[in-house]
Amino acid sequence: MLKRLTLIAVPAALLVLSALMVAPSLTPRQDADLANVAGDRARGAYLLKLGGCAACHTAEGAAPFAGGVALKTQFGTFFGPNITPDETAGIGGWSREDFANAMLNGKGQHGESLYPVFPYTSYQHLSLQDVADMWSALQEVTPSATPSKPHEINPFFLNRRYMAIWQILFFSPGSALAERPAKSDAWLRGQYIVNGPGHCGECHTPRNGFGARDEKRHLAGSVLPPDNEKVPAISTAALMQNGWTKEDLIWALQIGLLPDGDVMGGSMGEVIDGSLSQLTDEDIGAIATYLLNE
Amino acid sequence: MIRFSSKTIRRALTASALALPLLTSASVLAHDGEEGPQPTGVVKERMDAMKGLKDALMAIRGTLGSEETFDQAVVTENAKKISAVAGEPLLALFPQGTNEAPSEALDNIWTDWENFKIKSGLLKTKADALAVAEGLDASKAAFGEMAQSCGGCHKVYRLEKEQ
């Protein structure tokens, strides 16, 4: 009986898998909508900071956005690629539409499914205007001929078809943030930053065994492999329970000062240096408003 | 079948009632991260010095909320306290290899001593700048820069504790 089941189940599963692997991308591109959006370099430069892009794409002491930063995960070590406008080493050969397709749909220039270590699972919430602005700012970056480092990951995952399956299972493009709840402008802006460009949930929301975020435990804290760095919960409930005030949060986000007088190091120290400390007071206030659900 | 006398039950209840506060205090201590070895010697001195820095930072933070709460004297006084600890005195608190538990100091402090020295000096420079900053906005900006220099060392030379 068991033998017969195996005889049927295994080929059936293989059939389904191969069907998934050859299935064309079902994700519609936003090319037509993007056509009428004019990008703004200055806004884009600010958005690159808000998105913390340099954290993965600028190595210490190296050319801006030339890549090479190692990101260790349980699946292996990924290296942020060169995203300067260099024709061969960077993304100089990309169109603005290709860039939007990567940011919003998690697809590379040739339609390949990108690894979610690039947080398109958050960037999917970005407005087309913001994507266009970021693209404009990236055009101003000095091209670097430094080639992107190949990822050092489990060879199984080098086959992008498995990432296509991952995307079918764990990623649905488009933004649910478009449904605006009746909240203040600051709250809505905070919601956009935290879930979109700020991609806070990529570290603060726990992940399942497939490396996908468990949104049922949104911002409930996590442990980052492989070094088991503990990332605290920043859900409204957790912050309230630990007595965080809005003032506490603003100081912590802006300069890393915790309510007990300690100053943060670790990964969050880097986020503060590279991103949060350079944001406007309004945006920091908006993040705090949203996190405390005020 | 075993039957417990009311006396046995009462004794058991009394014992558990007595044990309860012990268990509670133990778990409270564990939450506060106070379990494990207590600091001694230079590690204790160092942790006390860091505690002093934290208190100074919070005293300054307390006045920087608004024009109403702003107190130039508090900022200047505490910035001077921080400056007095930063630089050479701070380095003296890190003799080679003194990072036994509960110290959070990492080994690279000593393999990377020159850079550690520069960073400790930077804290002094930034604290001195804060001590001479005038007005709320300038103080706030200088305070932020000084805190970043704290984080500059914590990021590289401190074991990240669990929160």
For the domain covering B41-157, report its CATH number.
Answer: 1.20.120.10
Q: Which residues of B touch A278 (CB under 8 A)?
A: none
Residue scoring higher pLDDT (A159 or B6): A159
- Per-residue pLDDT, averaged over B12-19, amounts to 47
**Can you tell me the ipTM of this complex?**
0.79
Distance separating alpha carbons of residues B83 and B85, to the nearest angstrom: 5
Distance separating alpha carbons of residues A284 and A289, to the nearest angstrom: 9
pLDDT higher than 80, residue B57? yes
Q: Which residues of B touch A277 (CB under 8 A)?
A: 144, 148
Rg (CA), chain A: 20
Please check whether residues A68 and A203 belong to one and the same domain: no
Is A195 inside a domain boundary? Answer: yes
pLDDT higher than 70, residue B162? no
Closest CA to B129 of B116, B114, B147: B147
Please check whether residues A165 and A243 belong to one and the same domain: no
- List, in sequence order, the alpha helices (H) in chain A: 2-22, 31-34, 41-50, 54-57, 96-105, 120-123, 128-139, 160-170, 185-195, 201-204, 236-241, 246-255, 266-274, 281-291
Enumerate the domain spans of chain B: 1-35, 41-157
pLDDT, averaged across chain B: 83
pLDDT higher than 80, residue A255? yes
Question: In this predicted model, what pLDDT tens digit does every residue of A40-69 receive, in sequence order?
Answer: 999 999 999 999 999 999 999 999 999 999
Please check whether residues A255 and A274 belong to one and the same domain: yes
State the pLDDT at residue A46.
Answer: 98
CA B83-B85-B89 angle, to 5 degrees, is 125
Please check whether residues A142 and A71 belong to one and the same domain: yes
* Confidence band for A11, pLDDT divided at 50, 70 and 90: low
CB contact under 8 A, A263 and B57: yes
Please check whether residues A126 and A199 belong to one and the same domain: no
Closest CA to A264 of A278, A281, A251: A251
Residue ending a domain, among A143, A176, A209, is: A176
Structural domain total, chain A:
2
CB-based burial label for A92 (10 Å; 0-12, 13-18, 19+) = middle
Residue ending a domain, among A129, A160, A176, is: A176
In chain A, the residue whose alpha carbon lies closest to the alpha carbon of B142 is: A255
Please check whether residues A118 and A213 belong to one and the same domain: no
Q: What is the DSSP string of A201-221?
A: HHHHS-B-TTS-B-GGGTT--
Is A6 inside a domain boundary? Answer: no
In chain B, the residue whose alpha carbon lies closest to the alpha carbon of A277 is: B144
A254 touches chain B (CB under 8 A): yes
Residue ending a domain, among A120, A149, A176, is: A176
- Structure tokens given for B95: 């003799």
Is A284 inside a domain boundary? Answer: yes
Please check whether residues A158 and A220 belong to one and the same domain: no
Question: In this predicted model, what pLDDT tens digit does every residue of A201-217 receive, in sequence order?
Answer: 999 999 999 999 999 99
- Would you say B94 and B128 are in contact if contact means Cβ atoms under 8 Å apart? no
Q: Domain with A262 in it: what CATH number? A: 1.10.760
Please give the residue range of the domain that contains residue A53.
28-176
Distance separating alpha carbons of residues B102 and B158, to the nearest angstrom: 12
Probe site for chain B from A230, A246, A247, A257 (most B CB atoms < 10 A): A257
Between A and B, how many residue pairs show a Cβ–Cβ distance under 8 A?
58
Please check whether residues A251 and A285 belong to one and the same domain: yes
Please check whether residues A133 and A213 belong to one and the same domain: no
Please check whether residues A107 and A155 belong to one and the same domain: yes
A274 touches chain B (CB under 8 A): no
